[in-house]
C-alpha cells in the first residue's frame, strides 16, 4: 500500500477522536470504532465542538464543517470499521496486552496490504507488531495532544517495518498537514525522551530547593522555551559554539556528577574543530549565506515574540 484512500481509527478517546477529525479535515473518508458505545456516541459532538473552535479562529472554513463531519463514519463493529481500509491508526488504552490482542484481530480482518499503525506513547512497536503476521506493515505513528493543533507526528520504525510502510506513513502524515519525523523503535521515541530530560531536571532543581516552582517554569519559558519553536537544541549548540557547551557541561560533570558528562560525540567534534556556525560546521554544515540567514530567521522570530510579550504583559 503506498497511496492511502480510506482510514480506520480504533479507539474514540482523546486521541482517536482528534486523529479522526484531522483525517477527515484532510479529505479522507474515516471510520472510527470504539469498544464502548458511550465513547463512540460522543465522537460527533466532540469533533463538532472542536471544529467550531477552529472556525472561530480562522483555521477551518465554516462552510467546510458539514463536509468534514460527513467524512467521519462511526462504526459499531471492528469488522465494519476495517472493511476495505488502506490504513489503520490504533489509539486505544495504553495497555500492551490489549494492543497486542487488537493487532492480532486487525491482522485477520484487514486486507493484506493494509498498514497497521499504533499511537502508543511508550510500548515497543516491534512487540506490538509481533502479534501479527505482517510485521513489515506495522509502524508507530505517535501523535501529540491535541492532534488537531500539534504539528508533529513521530513515525517509529519497528525492527521489521519496511521502507515502503515508512514511506506510506510519512506521505500520509504530510497529506494530513503534519510534520513527520522518523526514529528507530526505542523507549520514549524522540519527543517523550527529550521532554523527560527537561522535566526530570526541572523537578530535581525544585527538589534541591534551588528555586521555586514559578521561577523554574519562567526560566524555561523566557529562555530556551522562548526560542525553541524556531531553533532546535542541536542548532542552538551550533549557534552558541560546541566548545562553549562542551566546557560548560564538563564543569557540570565535575561539580554535579557523571550523568552530566558531555557526550563523546560533542567532545569528538570539538577536538576536530567543528565548533558550529563559527567554523561553518557543527551538527549541521553552513555556508556564509546559510549561517547569516539562520541568525536572521532566529532574530526575526524573537522580535515577533518580543512584541507579543509586550502586548501580553
Ligand atoms: P483514552 O482513554 O482517552 O481513549 C482510549 C479509548 O480506547 C477509550 O475510548 C476506550 O473505550 C477505547 N478502547 C479501549 N480498549 C479498546 C479496544 N480493545 N478496542 C477499541 N477501543 C478500545 O486514551 P487516549 O489519551 O486517547 O490515548 C490513546 C492512545 O494514544 C494511548 O496509547 C496513549 O498512550 C496514546 N497517546 C496519548 C496521548 C495523550 O496525551 N492522551 C498523546 C499521545 C499518544
Query: For residue 3, what pLDDT is reported?
Result: 80
What does 62-100 look like in DSSP terms, one character per residue?
GGGHHHHHHTEEE-SSHHHHTTT-SEEEE---S-HHHHH
- Tell whether 264 is covered by a domain: yes
**Does residue 35 line the site of ligand 1, with CB under 6 A?**
yes
Mean pLDDT rounded to a whole number for the chain:
96
Query: For residue 1, what pLDDT is reported?
Result: 60
The number of domains in the chain is: 2
How far is 47 from 273, CA to CA, in rounded Å? 53
| 294 and 147 inside one domain | no
Question: Edge-to-edge, what's the strand order for the sheet holding 138-143?
Answer: 72-74, 29-33, 6-10, 87-90, 115-118, 138-143, 152-157, 179-184
Query: Do 22 and 177 meet the contact criterion of CB atoms below 8 Å apart?
Result: yes
**Does residue 143 line the site of ligand 1, with CB under 6 A?**
yes
| 49 and 177 inside one domain | yes
| 104 and 164 inside one domain | yes
Atom of ligand 1 nearest to the CA of 99: 18
How far is 256 from 208, CA to CA, in rounded Å? 12
Last residue of a domain, one of 137, 161, 184: 184
Domain extent for 12: 6-184
Query: Do 147 and 18 meet the contact criterion of CB atoms below 8 Å apart?
Result: yes
Query: Do 169 and 155 meet the contact criterion of CB atoms below 8 Å apart?
Result: yes
DSSP letter at 261 equals: P
- Tell whether 98 is covered by a domain: yes
72-74 vs 179-184, strand pairing mode: unpaired
| 108 and 25 inside one domain | yes
Give me the half-sphere count of Cα atoms (radius 13 Å) on the Cβ side of residue 8.
Answer: 25
| 166 and 237 inside one domain | no
Q: Indicate which CATH number applies to the domain containing 106.
A: 3.40.50.720
Query: For residue 313, what pLDDT is reported?
Result: 76
| 175 and 232 inside one domain | no
How far is 201 from 75, CA to CA, in rounded Å? 44
pLDDT tens, the chain, 313 aa long: 668 899 999 999 999 999 999 999 999 999 999 999 999 999 999 999 999 999 999 999 999 999 999 999 999 999 999 999 999 999 999 999 999 999 999 999 999 999 999 999 999 999 999 999 999 999 999 999 999 999 999 999 999 999 999 999 999 999 999 999 999 999 999 999 999 999 999 999 999 999 999 999 999 999 999 999 999 999 999 999 999 999 999 999 999 999 999 999 999 999 999 999 999 999 999 999 999 999 999 999 999 999 998 888 7
Nearest alpha carbon, ligand 1 atom 39: 145
Q: Indicate which CATH number applies to the domain containing 274.
A: 1.10.1040.10
Nearest alpha carbon, ligand 1 atom 25: 14
Amino acid at each position: 500500500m503506498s497511496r492511502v484512500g480510506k482510514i480506520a481509527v480504533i479507539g474514540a478517546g482523546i486521541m482517536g477522536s482528534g486523529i479522526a477529525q484531522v483525517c477527515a479535515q484532510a479529505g479522507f473518508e474515516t471510520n472510527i470504532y470504539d469498544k464502548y458505545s458511550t465513547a463512540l456516541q460522543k465522537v460527533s459532538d466532540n469533533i463538532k465542538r472542536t471544529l467550531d473552535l477552529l472556525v472561530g479562529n480562522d483555521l477551518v472554513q465554516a462552510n467546510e464543517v458539514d463536509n468534514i463531519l460527513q467524512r467521519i463514519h462511526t462504526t459499531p463493529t471492528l469488522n465494519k470499521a476495517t472493511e476495505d481500509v488502506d490504513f489503520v491508526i490504533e489509539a486505544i488504552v495504553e495497555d500492551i496486552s490489549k494492543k497486542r490482542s487488537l493487532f492480532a484481530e486487525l491482522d485477520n480482518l484487514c486486507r493484506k496490504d493494509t498498514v497497521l499503525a499504533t499511537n502508543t506513547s511508550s510500548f515497543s512497536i516491534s512487540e506490538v507488531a509481533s502479534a501479527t503476521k505482517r510485521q513489515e506493515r506495522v509502524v508507530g505513528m505517535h501523535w501529540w495532544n491535541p492532534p488537531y493543533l500539534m504539528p508533529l507526528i513521530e513515525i517509529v520504525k519497528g525492527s521489521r517495518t519496511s521502507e515502503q510502510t515508512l514511506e506510506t506513513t510519512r506521505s500520509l502524515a504530510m497529506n494530513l498537514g503534519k510534520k513527520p519525523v522518523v526514529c528507530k523503535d526505542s523507549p520514549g521515541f524522540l519527543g517523550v525522551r527529550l521532554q523527560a530530560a527537561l522535566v526530570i531536571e526541572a523537578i530535581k532543581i525544585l527538589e534541591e530547593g534551588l528555586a521555586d516552582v514559578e521561577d523554574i517554569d519562567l526560566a524555561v519559558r523566557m529562555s530556551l522555551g522562548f526560542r525553541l519553536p524556531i531553533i532546535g537544541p542541536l542548532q542552538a549548540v551550533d549557534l552558541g559554539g560546541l566548545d562553549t557547551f562542551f566546557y560548560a557541561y564538563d564543569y557540570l560533570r565535575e561539580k554535579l556528577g557523571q550523568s552530566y558528562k558531555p557526550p563523546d560525540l560533542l567532545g569528538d567534534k570539538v577536538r576536530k574543530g567543528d565548533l558550529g556556525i563559527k567554523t561553518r560546521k557543527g551538527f549541521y554544515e553552513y555556508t556564509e549565506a546559510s549561517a547569516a540567514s539562520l541568525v536572521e530567521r532566529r532574530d526575526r522570530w524573537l522580535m515577533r515574540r518580543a512584541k507579543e510579550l509586550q502586548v501580553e504583559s
